[in-house]
């Protein structure tokens, strides 16, 4: 039996009547937990709500104003799970969640197109696929793909979309010789009725029970996001189609804009900026442990900048501790930061700057600047130790 949703995938409302409505339970997963809901299994004379199958999730919608929570296929019939009962023989009006359905149509027809061209172009057979909530995956029967193949495949599928190629549904009897010529992964054990063939003109003919677009142009666009290593020497191709591409672009731009504000760099430099931050955090963790153990807290690094030194000072805290940090070549030019009690920093800062042949300025317990030579860094550290001792003696 073919349902109305399979005869006309674009129908959004439909009138039919109730065949049966019996008490039932439905198990739903919610955040990893399984919840049992009590309700009713509803069978209709016909339906525009697609029952889960062929890798495609079921439709959402209402029947007689009652929300439909699941639709499953049992042989030739579709069973709708609803929360409140409807009377047998009652005439009902079905409303389809069209946004969800059309999304599924775009992803499913997109899968057929990608599968067909991956086979034609590279000989990669599809062994399974998954229509996910955000992105979908196609399992290809190959341990790996070659460089450039996915880019070429993406170009090819989008050329077919722009070619405005019709997609038609043909119904064949199970003993029709034409059935042997179509692509198929087999029929379910409880299949009943004619064989449904989805024909992308001149591209592919495939056995399928799902809902599909009537023309490849309705896919709008397909984006192949990449591949991942699959199970048993297979490769998973990750893709999105149609409206999902637009949503993906919008979300990506929003994230890009936020990262630009946080990292203070252009989009092309985001990865390098994050990599630098991660390395800085790891260095800071090591540096902080080393610095805290010395009095005064002192540390030199060949690599770094003012931001690096200020982060260390802030992490350690300098209200009661003198911190002396330098970055650059040990006997060459660099940068320095002195932080601590304001009276000590104000007194010693200019003298440290003089020893390092540099120029600096300070306020609020910080004195920092450029050093033309770090050769006398040890003398500057000795000067700070002397004042640290005075600070410790004063505390006692």
CB 332 within 8 A of CB 373: yes
pLDDT (tens digit per residue) in 160-170: 999 999 999 98
Q: Quick one: pLDDT at residue 332?
A: 93
SS3 for 187?
Answer: coil
Q: How confident is the model at residue 341 (pLDDT cuts 50, 70, 90)?
A: confident
Q: Is the pLDDT of residue 34 over 60?
A: yes
Q: Is the pLDDT of residue 172 over 90?
A: no
pLDDT (tens digit per residue) in 201-217: 999 999 999 999 999 99
pLDDT (tens digit per residue) in 247-260: 999 999 999 999 99
The percent of residues above 70 in pLDDT, for the chain, comes to: 91
pLDDT (tens digit per residue) in 300-327: 888 888 888 888 888 777 777 888 999 9
What is the rounded average pLDDT of the residues 101-112? 98
Q: What is the mean pLDDT of the chain?
A: 89
CB 338 within 8 A of CB 346: no
**Residue of 66 and 30 predicted with greater confidence:** 66
Pairing of strands 195-200, 77-82: unpaired
User: What pTM did the predictor assign?
Assistant: 0.76
How far apart CA 56 and CA 211 sit, in angstroms, is 8
State which H helix or E strand residue 381 sits in.
Answer: helix 377-395
How far apart CA 245 and CA 248 sit, in angstroms, is 5
How far apart CA 247 and CA 392 sit, in angstroms, is 61
Q: Is the pLDDT of residue 137 over 90?
A: yes
Q: Which residues are CB-contacts of 198 (< 8 A; sequence separation ≥ 6)?
A: 109, 112, 167, 168, 169, 204, 205, 206, 207, 208, 210, 212
Dihedral sign of CA atoms 20, 21, 25, 27 in order: positive
Q: Quick one: pLDDT at residue 33?
A: 85
């Amino acid at each position: 039996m073919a349902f109305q949703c399979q005869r006309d995938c674009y129908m959004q409302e439909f009138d039919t009547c109730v065949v049966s409505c019996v008490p039932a339970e439905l198990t739903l997963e919610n955040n990893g937990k399984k919840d049992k809901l009590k309700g009713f299994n509803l069978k209709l004379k016909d339906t525009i709500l697609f029952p889960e199958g062929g890798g495609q999730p079921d439709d959402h919608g209402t029947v007689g104003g009652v929300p439909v929570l699941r639709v499953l296929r049992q042989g030739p019939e579709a069973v709708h799970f609803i929360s409140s009962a409807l009377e047998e023989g009652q005439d009902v009006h079905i409303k389809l969640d069209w946004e969800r359905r059309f999304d599924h149509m775009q992803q499913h027809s997109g899968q057929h197109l990608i599968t067909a061209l991956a086979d034609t172009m590279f000989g990669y057979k599809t062994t399974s696929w998954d229509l996910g909530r955000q992105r979908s995956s196609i399992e290809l029967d190959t341990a790996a793909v070659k460089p450039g193949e996915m880019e070429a495949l993406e170009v090819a599928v989008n050329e077919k979309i722009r070619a405005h190629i019709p997609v038609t549904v043909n119904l064949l009897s199970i003993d029709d010789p034409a059935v042997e010529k179509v692509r198929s992964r087999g029929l379910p054990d409880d299949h009943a009725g004619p064989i449904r063939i989805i024909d992308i003109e001149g591209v592919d003919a495939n056995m399928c029970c799902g809902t599909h677009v009537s023309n490849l142009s309705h896919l709008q666009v397909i984006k192949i996001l990449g591949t991942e290593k699959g199970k048993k020497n297979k490769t998973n191709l990750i893709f999105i189609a149609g409206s999902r591409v637009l949503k993906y672009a919008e979300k990506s731009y929003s994230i890009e804009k936020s990262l630009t504000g946080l990292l203070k760099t252009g989009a092309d430099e985001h990865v390098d900026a994050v990599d630098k931050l991660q390395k800085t955090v790891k260095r800071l963790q090591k540096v902080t442990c080393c610095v805290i153990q010395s009095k005064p807290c002192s540390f030199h690094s060949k690599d770094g900048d003012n931001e690096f030194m200020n982060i260390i000072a802030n992490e350690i805290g300098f209200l009661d501790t003198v911190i002396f940090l330098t970055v650059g070549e040990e006997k060459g030019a660099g940068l320095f930061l002195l932080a601590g009690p304001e009276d000590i920093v104000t007194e010693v800062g200019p003298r440290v700057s003089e020893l390092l042949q540099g120029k600096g300025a300070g306020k609020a317990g910080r004195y920092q600047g450029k050093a033309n030579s770090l050769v006398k860094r040890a003398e500057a550290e000795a000067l700070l130790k002397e004042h640290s001792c005075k600070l410790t003696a004063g505390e006692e």
